[in-house]
Amino acid sequence: MSGIKQHACNMKKGFVIFLSFLTGVTTMAQKIAGKLRFQQGQVLQIEMEMKTAVVQQAMGQAIDFHVTGAATHQYKATNVTDDNNTLRHSMNRLSFQFDGMGQKLNFDSDNPKDMEGRMGKPMKEMLEKNYDVIIDPNGKVMMAQPEKITLAAADERLKLVADMMKDLTNVVFPPKKGEGSFFRVLPENEAAIGESWSETGKTETGEFTNNYTLKEINDSTVVVALDGNSTTSVKADMRGMETVTNMNHKTTGNIIVDKATGIVRQKTLNTESSGATQITAMGATMPLTSKSTIVINVKPQP
């Protein structure tokens, strides 16, 4: 009898191992494409948190700057069809804490006193900007209205803070026709685990290449790895002198997408940057490095 029991036990273990192997093969064989599925009237709240540290070399000394910021904005699906989706974008909140060169600044747009202060006016202008964007089923921008949003020039005293917070404040501006929207992550054609695809583009200050790799397909989510490179060149005025800052950026991270709808649930991005600021009139070059982490969570609203 013991031999029969041992044989049965071995068969059971073998079946479990085979089932596990079969499940793994099935998972690996799964393919997924990036068709988005919004619901009419659906509101998606996007919460962003950012930490950035910058080190600027000047006259043989290293100057440190730190910014911690948060922003909340949203998209509302105002028209959903099989061919396209119209989304209404609005900004809800912006806050930050800045520490650098012996100066500390704190701001929260939800605080009435902060909105009445010197930083309140530019922030109010930003929060009042809205736009509509039409995207195709894969998240590519078909058109935006208005096509461009212009903000008043930042106070010179706040310019450094504004530059360090661009990853948060740039969400105010509508994406350009032909670009990938915030919701474009998965490829148009089906991809299996381990397969990769790329996206390239240009911005007003540079160009970028993002490489995506499908890491996981789970019961309810899809995990995509991001590996990107970009360059920027920004001209500015510093006390009447023109400056040009050239930077190289390296970004890595993970993106979690809802399997049923193709809509982003979370993005975690880490960027390391290096370059220099050149002051043309003085012939001076100041090396510059920075590190930033951004965590984005998308929360469907009831």
- Tell me what the mean pLDDT of segment 24-41 comes to: 77
pLDDT in tens, 15-28: 444 444 444 444 44
How far is C-alpha 285 from the chain's CA centre?
Answer: 30
d(CA 22, CA 179): 40
Under DSSP, is residue 141 helix (H, G, I), strand (E, B) or coil? Answer: strand
Pair 88, 73: CB distance under 8 Å = no
User: Residue 26's pLDDT is what?
Assistant: 43
User: Residue 16's pLDDT is what?
Assistant: 46
Residue 39, amino acid: Q
Q: Model pTM?
A: 0.86
What region does 151 belong to: left with phi over 0, alpha with psi -120 to 50, or beta? beta
Residue with tokens 């704190």: 106
pLDDT in tens, 57-78: 877 788 899 999 999 999 999 9
E-strand ranges in 59-195 read: 61-80, 85-100, 103-108, 130-135, 141-145, 191-192
Residue 79, amino acid: N
As a whole number of Å, the CA-based R_g of the chain is: 24
Q: Residue 164 phi/psi, 5° resolution?
A: -75, -20
d(CA 242, CA 220): 52
Q: In sequence order, which residues have a C-beta less than 8 Å from that of residue 194 and are 6 or more positions away?
A: 28, 213, 214
User: Residue 24's pLDDT is what?
Assistant: 46
